[in-house]
Amino acid sequence: MIEKTANLSNLFKEKAAAAASSAELEQLRIEFLGKKGYVAELMNDLRNIPNEQKKEAGQLINEVKKFIESEIQNRNREILKAEELRLVEQAESYDESMPVDINSGSYHPITLVQREVEEIFKTMGFAVEDYYEITDDYNCFEALNIPKHHPARDMQDTYYLSTGQLLKTHTSAAQNTILRKYAKNLEQGNPIRAIFPGRCFRNEKIDACHENTFFQMEGIMVDKDISISNLIYFMKTMLSEVFQQDITVRLRPGFFPFVEPGFELDIQCTICKGKGCPSCKDSGWLELCPCGMIHPNVLTAAGIDPEKYIGFAFGLGMTRLAMMTYGVKDIRVFNSGSLKALSQFTEKSFTVPEESKEA
The single residue among 61, 174, 259, 269 that binds ligand DAH, judged by CB under 6 A, is 259
How far apart CA 28 and CA 178 sit, in angstroms, is 65
> What's CA 117's distance to the chain center, in Å?
20
Per-residue contact track with ligand DAH, 28 to 47, x per CB under 6 A?
Answer: --------------------
Q: In whole angstroms, how far apart are CA 31 and each of 20, 235, 236?
A: 16, 73, 75
**Sequence-separated (6 or more) residues with CB below 8 Å from residue 190:** none
- CB closer to ligand DAH out of 29 and 170: 170
Neighbouring-strand partners of residue 267: 249, 286
Residues 260-279 that bind ligand DAH (CB under 6 A): 262
Instruction: Evaluate whether 178 touches 147 at the Cβ level (below 8 Å).
Output: no
Q: Is 218 in the site for ligand DAH (CB under 6 A)?
A: yes
Q: Which stretch binds ligand DAH (CB under 6 A): 42-50, 256-264, 270-278, 334-342?
A: 256-264
- Closest approach, Cβ 175 to ligand DAH, in A, equals 7
Residues 286-315 that bind ligand DAH (CB under 6 A): 290-292, 313-315
Q: Is 211 in the site for ligand DAH (CB under 6 A)?
A: no
Q: Is 172 in the site for ligand DAH (CB under 6 A)?
A: yes
- Closest approach, Cβ 88 to ligand DAH, in A, equals 48
Q: Which stretch binds ligand DAH (CB under 6 A): 254-262, 280-288, 339-347, 349-357?
A: 254-262
Q: What is the DSSP letter of 249?
A: E
Tell me phi and psi for residue 65, to 5 degrees.
Answer: -60, -45
How far apart CA 64 and CA 6 sit, in angstroms, is 7
- Closest approach, Cβ 234 to ligand DAH, in A, equals 13
Q: Which stretch binds ligand DAH (CB under 6 A): 60-68, 156-164, 255-263, 332-340?
A: 255-263
Q: What is the DSSP letter of 102?
A: G
Q: What is the DSSP string of 210-279?
A: --SEEEEEEEEEEESS--HHHHHHHHHHHHHHHTTS---EEEEE---TTEEEEEEEEEE-TTTTTS--GG
How far apart CA 211 and CA 298 sit, in angstroms, is 28
Start-to-end CA span in the chain (Å): 73
The single residue among 215, 256, 309, 326 that binds ligand DAH, judged by CB under 6 A, is 256
How far apart CA 15 and CA 299 sit, in angstroms, is 78
- Closest approach, Cβ 130 to ligand DAH, in A, equals 17
Instruction: Evaluate whether 176 touches 139 at the Cβ level (below 8 Å).
Output: yes
- CB closer to ligand DAH out of 75 and 193: 193
How far apart CA 344 and CA 341 sit, in angstroms, is 6
- CB closer to ligand DAH out of 19 and 221: 221
Q: How many CB atoms lie within 10 A of CB 248?
A: 16
Q: Is 198 in the site for ligand DAH (CB under 6 A)?
A: no
- Closest approach, Cβ 160 to ligand DAH, in A, equals 17
Instruction: Evaluate whether 331 touches 208 at the Cβ level (below 8 Å).
Output: yes
Instruction: Evaluate whether 238 touches 117 at the Cβ level (below 8 Å).
Output: yes
- Closest approach, Cβ 118 to ligand DAH, in A, equals 17
Residue of closest CB approach to ligand DAH: 315
- CB closer to ligand DAH out of 39 and 195: 195
Q: Residues binding ligand DAH: what is the number (CB under 6 A)?
A: 12
H/E stretch holding 216: strand 213-223
Q: Is 326 in the site for ligand DAH (CB under 6 A)?
A: no
Q: Which stretch binds ligand DAH (CB under 6 A): 40-48, 85-93, 285-293, 340-348?
A: 285-293
Site residues (CB under 6 A) for ligand DAH? 170, 172, 218, 256, 259, 262, 290-292, 313-315
